[in-house]
Structure 1
Amino acid sequence: MTAPAFDFDRLIDRRALPSEKWGRYAGRDVLPLWVADMDFAAPPAVIDALRRRIDHGVFGYTDAWPSLVEAVVDGLQRDHGWTIRPDWLVWLPGVVAGFNLACAIAGEPGDGVLTATPVYPPFLTAPANTGRVLQRVELVLREGRWQWDWDALEATCTPSTRMLLLCSPHNPVGRVFDEDELRRLADFAERHDLLVCSDEIHCGLVLDASRPHRPLAALDEAGARRTITLMAPSKTWNIPALYCAFAVIPDAALRRRYRHAMRGVVPHVNVLGMVAAEAAYRDGDAWRQALLAYLRGNRDRVVEAIAALPGLAMTVPEATYLAWIDCRDMMAARGVNDPAAFFETAGVGLSDGAAFGAPGFLRLNFGCPRATLDQALARMARALED
């Protein structure tokens, strides 16, 4: 049977409708490669499922239904070899709400939440949102890969630390953590009696086939009992504004605490988001595999282009559609204080690394048609030639 063809080269005018990504530069000739959503249409299977549900015409309050739960359970088994029970699932409108809730049940106000930077910006604000204290350890670059500084991790953990907040696969550095790294993290959490909240929203976007994503909670039962795993179809199938995510919490007591913290705070999940989630996990894998092939081509273009630009450097992303670019040599050589503003003036909108806890870096989203990416890379090259 011939694999279905999906057109990731199609240019869709996102300026015609409200859009955070493209609206930031409304009226300006700036290509937005910043916020983490892609410029591709959602999978046909998802769009067809949404049309059928909309045609029904009634949108009353709805809880997760059996075929949705089955699609997620089957999807985690198929994609990650992780066998979960349906009652482990807690439905959420998004993973950001999910890890803020985790902070809220981690110890008491004033206790510590430990995470590794650079990291997705809401990680840095979630502890304070719930009266906890952010504790940061820096990832280090060794042998072309961002890695854990194990000595620093131990030194940063204090008697008041109550939770490890993990991003896996990692945003923005693009790492797929090896199983030995994950086991070492699980051992660290057990020795210090830490709750673990693992944001694994990019788990469906592994670009390096030799490094499959392994959920931390799938390693063993002891680690699973202290872990809240957050996932969503939003990044993989490009449906972030449909607001549907879930936590996988194997331990019943921890799950009860988590659900209790949700009361009166977390709204029902969007019914269209749940419809899209079922279609994505059940019928969206052919689209996902085609997407990954396209993203690998885009990643290779970015790696080649950045290697040729003076003063810029990056590692090869193993997952996500995000490139983490070190601009510090360029800044020193050219007297540039704000690399994001520098490239924005050249017509390319990138995410400022300062928001991730790493000034001097930029994050580039290559989840876009190749024509858009090539144009953006050419603009960056011209800016550095001037």
Structure 2
Amino acid sequence: MTYDFDTVHDRRGTSSIKWERYRPDVIPLWVADMDFRSPPEVIDALQARVEHGIFGYTSAPESLVQAVLESVRSEFDWEVKEEWLVWLPGLVCGLNVTCRAVGNPGDQALTFTPIYPPFLSAPPLAGLGLVKVPLAESEGRWGIDIELLQQAITPQTRLLMLCNPHNPVGRMWTEAELSALAAVAAQHDLVICSDEIHASLVLEEGGRHLPIAMLSEAVAQRTITLMAPSKTYNIPGLGCSLAIIANDTLRRSFRKAMAGIVPHVNLLGFTAAEACYRHGEPWRRELLEYLRGNRGLVEREVGRMPGFRVARVEATYLAWIDARGGGIDDPAAFFERAGVGLNDGAEFGLPGFVRLNFGCPRSTLQEALHRMVQSVNG
């Protein structure tokens, strides 16, 4: 490989949320933050910008806008217009803005569980009711039960919140699945908010992410797509995300909900994002190969833990592990005692599971999985 993903970098003492959550002897594999240095082209761009020495208020450079448009055209074959873009200091911010922009207090937002926790907190914070529709699981593969979805919709439902690819179950939704969702949204006149932050992290060979807004012009007109380079290129601390909103009225509502409460993206976030979109593709390709190897390691080692199952990770670097058959009441606490910090499935709306972040050097992952296997098998 041209790029180094094997070197272990000491992140303790850097105020890392990931690494300073646990006692020092615990390997943290929880929050979606990789332990790889960002692409060297990104680091070089940041250093060059810092050398300028003046850090005033900054708008999105036109060169960044064009880089985004070129990137989504190249990667997804999606023709996005410049005026559709709305810049945000974080994708979670976008979820919360959407919940304030769509509907009124007392209306409802609907999402599928298990799900990334901000999907569960954003609607209530905006005064919306939260409707949770369980994903269907069969032999470790997760899917959407359209009949259950139809039953959950009420006259107050205004918003369908989708995670595509899905965090935490790792699904890359198919065109048929997305089309079925879009048909339901059209039938009930729902706005779709689609979190597609992991769109560039497809691990299945030959797989290609499909933004739901690409299904048709009609679907695009009811969709808010949230994207960012942060997960793919490991720059979450730089806070640069964007919403893609084709519908003028919906975009105005979104901007109105932002007014006075959402800060501008910082200039280093813009700088890093442009470097990612313009120069990060070779690094991304090698990252995906490395993550595929880590995924295989997770699958093999979880297979050595009686009663445990792991869903096939089609996209993301997050493994969703079913611990219900292992006879352990609180798997997250159990593995923390064994020296591995994982997300508790209860945070995602489904106790008995844990989420493992395998975006780390293989030696770190091997040691963590060894601890997990040993703790389960005695």
Same fold (TM over 0.5): yes
Corresponding letter in the other structure for 1:109: P
Give the structure-1-normalised TM-score. Answer: 0.97
Please tell me whether residue 190 in structure 1 is matched to residue 162 in structure 2.
no
SS in 2 for 1:38: coil
d(CA) in 2 for partners of 1:187, 1:143: 27
Please tell me whether residue 107 in structure 1 is matched to residue 99 in structure 2.
no
The residue correspondences of 1:92-241 to structure 2 (distance < 5 A) are 92-241=88-237
Unaligned runs of 5+ in 1: none
Q: 1:14 aligns with which of 11, 32, 42?
A: 11
Equivalent pairs, count: 378
SS in 2 for 1:22: coil
Unaligned runs of 5+ in 2: none
d(CA) in 2 for partners of 1:222, 1:69: 24
What residue number does 1:338 align with? 330
Please tell me whether residue 25 in structure 1 is matched to residue 22 in structure 2.
yes
Contact 1:103 1:132 in 2 (8 A): yes
What residue number does 2:284 align with? 288
- Structure 1 runs of 4+ off > 3 angstroms? none
d(CA) in 2 for partners of 1:159, 1:216: 24
Please tell me whether residue 383 in structure 1 is matched to residue 372 in structure 2.
no
Corresponding letter in the other structure for 2:290: Y
| 1:143 Cα offset (Å) | 4.9
Corresponding letter in the other structure for 2:121: T
Contact 1:178 1:211 in 2 (8 A): no
Q: Identity percentage over the alignment?
A: 57
d(CA) in 2 for partners of 1:24, 1:257: 37
d(CA) in 2 for partners of 1:150, 1:303: 29
What residue number does 1:40 align with? 36
Contact 1:92 1:244 in 2 (8 A): yes
| 1:315 Cα offset (Å) | 1.5
| 1:364 Cα offset (Å) | 0.3
d(CA) in 2 for partners of 1:316, 1:145: 7
What residue number does 2:356 align with? 364
Q: 1:374 aligns with which of 336, 352, 366?
A: 366
| 1:145 Cα offset (Å) | 1.7
Q: 2:81 aligns with which of 55, 74, 85?
A: 85
Please tell me whether residue 308 in structure 1 is matched to residue 304 in structure 2.
yes
Deviations along 1:113-139, one digit per CA (max 9) or x if unpaired, are: 000000000100100000000000000
d(CA) in 1 for partners of 2:291, 2:343: 19
Corresponding letter in the other structure for 2:92: V
| 1:311 Cα offset (Å) | 1.5
Corresponding letter in the other structure for 1:110: G
What residue number does 1:68 align with? 64
Give the structure-2-normalised TM-score. Answer: 0.99
d(CA) in 1 for partners of 2:338, 2:257: 46
| 1:384 Cα offset (Å) | 1.0
Contact 2:136 2:144 in 1 (8 A): yes
Please tell me whether residue 264 in structure 1 is matched to residue 260 in structure 2.
yes
d(CA) in 2 for partners of 1:145, 1:78: 30
d(CA) in 1 for partners of 2:13, 2:104: 47
Corresponding letter in the other structure for 1:113: A
SS in 2 for 1:60: coil
Root-mean-square deviation over aligned CA pairs = 0.9
d(CA) in 1 for partners of 2:337, 2:222: 47
Contact 1:96 1:122 in 2 (8 A): yes
